[in-house]
Amino acid sequence: MAFIVMSVFSIVAICAVAIVSGLLITAVAFKCYRRRQIRNAQSRLSSAIKKGLKETPSSSKRSSRSSSVVKLTKATSPISPPEHPAGPGEKLSPGSFSMRPDNMESPHHVGKQDYSHHIEYEKGDRTPEKDEEAKMRLEQKQEPKYLGSLNFSMEYDFDKSALLVNIMSLVDLPPRDPSTGGCDPYVKLQLLPEKRHKCKTRVLRKTLNPVYDETFTFYGIASNQLHGMTLHFVILSFDRFSRDAIMGEVLYPLKAEELTSNKTTTLCREITPRHLKFRMQGCGELLVSLCYQPAANRLTVVVLKARTLPKMDLSGLSDPYVKIYLLYNGQRIAKKKTHVKKRTLNPVFNESFLFDVPYNEGLQNISLEFLVLDWDRMTKNEVVGRLEIGCRSLGGPESHHWNEVINCPRKQIAEWHKLSEH
């Protein structure tokens, strides 16, 4: 009997030892697996940081050469369909989205359909938005007082319910290329506020006084619709290797009394800078929520909404979206973007993004840069405003928000911030 009791006791002890050993082995294996995961994440992030901070000149040259090859081999016109061969007025426009063409209401419309092909590019710390901002600041300093003038004529055909617009010529344009003293201008035209009818002229090379004499016919416009419509001319200079430069614009509200007798009305209007329409407006505000998770080395960014954005479209609305960049020691190492919200000045995004931060460094050298952009099918996407929150914030609500995120980990903290131009 005693032998049987001892045998039962031995079996129970062996089972207990086996269970404890199994639990210990499982805990050690999980700890090793977790440590390997952290090391892999750290190595991936370190390689991304090194790639951003230690880009060699040879790699920059190779990337620039490859970028040039892409742009040359895939050059297409902003308006012409991509399946046609490249012509003299064709280009590749870098941006963020691929656009679909606007279908013209009438088959007799002489303007071509609008195809815009955009390529997202990033090299070092340069982005399309920063390049455009620097270009605009330079133009504001060196912007000529006189940007030239546009000669055009209008006629309304009552029998066909059609508006005929003839783009005649441009006069005394400012030179875009200092080496040659000329530019490669062309004109885009659309009818506001609907923006359904769009067309463009051909590109004329190396001239400051181009003569087009091209007539565009807009069908399906009743005479009682003329009042309230506006002709919107955008003057651009073609560039095969980068974005076409916007030289200016001309706005002409239609007057029914000028188009009542089938007579041609010839007009000359001075070209004005395009960005003047929002220079005096505020940039609006952006509501963002941040949460730092030290154990996972992650930063959660939620773009909630924006309000009182400037009217980037002449129709009085905007098509905003937000780009978010993660900066480490001032260098961009990761980026995200929201969806486009159409025709609104107070968009609601409610989109969440996760960023991995450097292992064992916390948020001491981390910043977030927010760019609010206006999507535009016809021309380039313009920067509405920008916001930076992080270690480089010097006082104000941005610095206070960042300090709260650091001092209250694992807590989602949301605040409104004013957008700035620079």
pLDDT score recorded for residue 321: 94
**pTM for this entry:** 0.42
- Please say whether the beta carbons of 83 and 361 come within 8 A: no
- Please say whether the beta carbons of 311 and 345 come within 8 A: yes
Beta strands in 245-330 (DSSP E): 245-253, 265-270, 285-293, 298-307, 320-328
For the domain covering 279-418, report its CATH number: 2.60.40.150
pLDDT score recorded for residue 213: 93
Query: What's the token pair of residue 94?
Result: 């870098």
Closest residue by Cα to residue 53 from 323, 324, 298, 328: 328
Q: 188 has which bridge partners?
A: 200, 234
CA distance 170 to 216: 16
Q: Using the CB atoms, write b or e for 365-378: b if 16+ within 10 Å.
A: bbbbbbbbbbbbbb
Give me the architecture of the 75-274 domain, per CATH.
Answer: Sandwich (2.60)
pLDDT score recorded for residue 133: 60
CA 307 centroid distance within chain: 18
Mean pLDDT by 10 residues, the chain (422 residues): 67 87 88 80 65 48 40 36 40 38 39 38 51 58 71 88 91 77 85 76 90 91 81 86 78 78 84 62 86 92 92 73 92 93 92 89 88 79 87 84 92 92 66
Domain with CATH 2.60.40.150 in the chain: 75-274, 279-418
- Please say whether the beta carbons of 382 and 373 come within 8 A: yes
pLDDT score recorded for residue 111: 39
Closest residue by Cα to residue 189 from 81, 115, 112, 96: 112
pLDDT score recorded for residue 70: 36
pLDDT score recorded for residue 116: 37
Peptide bond into 358 cis (omega under 30): no
pLDDT score recorded for residue 2: 56
CA distance 399 to 391: 8
pLDDT score recorded for residue 243: 64
- What's the Rg (C-alpha) of the chain? 30
Q: What is the pLDDT of residues 12-35, one digit of tens each?
A: 888 888 898 888 898 888 888 878
pLDDT score recorded for residue 126: 56
- Please say whether the beta carbons of 191 and 219 come within 8 A: no
The region that residue 88 occupies, defined by phi over 0 for left and psi between -120 and 50 for alpha, beta otherwise, is: alpha
